[in-house]
Amino acid sequence: MTRRILVFGYGLVSYAVGFSVLLYLIAFIGNFWAPTTIDGPLVGSLASAAAINLGLILTFAVQHSVMARPAFKQRLARWIPPEAERSTYVLASGLVLIALFVLWRPMGGIVWDIQQPLARTALFALFACGWVTVFGSSFLINHFDLFGLRQVWLCLRGKPYTPLAFKTPGPYSLVRHPLYVGWLTAAWATPTMGAAHLAFAVLMTVYILAAIRWEERDLVDALGQDYTEYQERVPMLAPRLLRRRKSGTIQVENAAA
């Protein structure tokens, strides 16, 4: 019982870190009332700032993708309880993002600055819609499983983990990765785009497009024909709004968000 309590406590701490960091990321990207934000005056050389920021995003990309691969999960299970694997992933992602917040170097410069009030409001609304899509999508596929809480809760109750079978409701019937659509929207929708923000948006876009390929390869290996049929029926990121499709039922394992 002590082991189960410790695993559950670890999961709670990991969730608290991961979710808090995600909330701070909204303020960071949006340049809202936070100690550190994505844009600001350049301090030091531009080359140094660009190199540091590139290194931070590459660190995030490597951690986020490598820890999501089945082979890494199998190795990790030799050292930690399997029920804590997802919580460890969430905690590691949170710590990497905290490092990014602390070490990020604003690069100065303005790429675009839209002052027209209605246009600014529309872009802020689009930014908010991006984050609503991220959080909403996570709840549609079971937010608590995605963040590791379901696993440690089942462990606390002495029940084995069972993978989730879920339908493809709402946005999942339009695109296969609405969560990533939300990330991309939040990264690009801003009335004032600084140089550092542009670098972040471009690099995160490249990473997300690559991560989708790796993630879908794992899903095809795990689910076979169920997922290949889903790929054929539903586009990756851009919906075919004029084409009707049926909602299917698929079973997926945790993947990078």
Domain locations along the chain: 2-252
- DSSP-assigned letters across all residues of 174-230: T-S-HHHHHHHHHHH--SEEEHHHHHHHHHHHHHHHHHHHHHHHHHHHHHTHHHHHH
The span from the CA of 218 to the CA of 14, in Å, is 25
The span from the CA of 40 to the CA of 101, in Å, is 13
Residue type, 125: A
* CB atoms near residue 44 (< 10 Å): 9
Helix 178-188 / helix 195-223 crossing angle, nearest 10 deg: 170
Q: Which token pair is 58?
A: 């590459």
Residue tagged 């080359």 (tokens): 47
Question: From first to last of its 257 residues, what are the pLDDT tens digits of the chain?
Answer: 888 899 999 999 999 999 999 999 999 999 998 899 999 999 889 999 999 999 999 999 999 999 988 888 888 888 999 999 999 999 999 999 999 999 999 999 999 999 999 999 999 999 999 999 999 999 988 899 999 999 999 999 999 888 877 467 789 989 999 999 999 999 999 999 999 999 999 999 999 999 999 989 988 887 787 788 888 999 999 887 655 444 444 434 344 44
* pTM of the predicted model as reported, rounded to 2 decimal places: 0.87
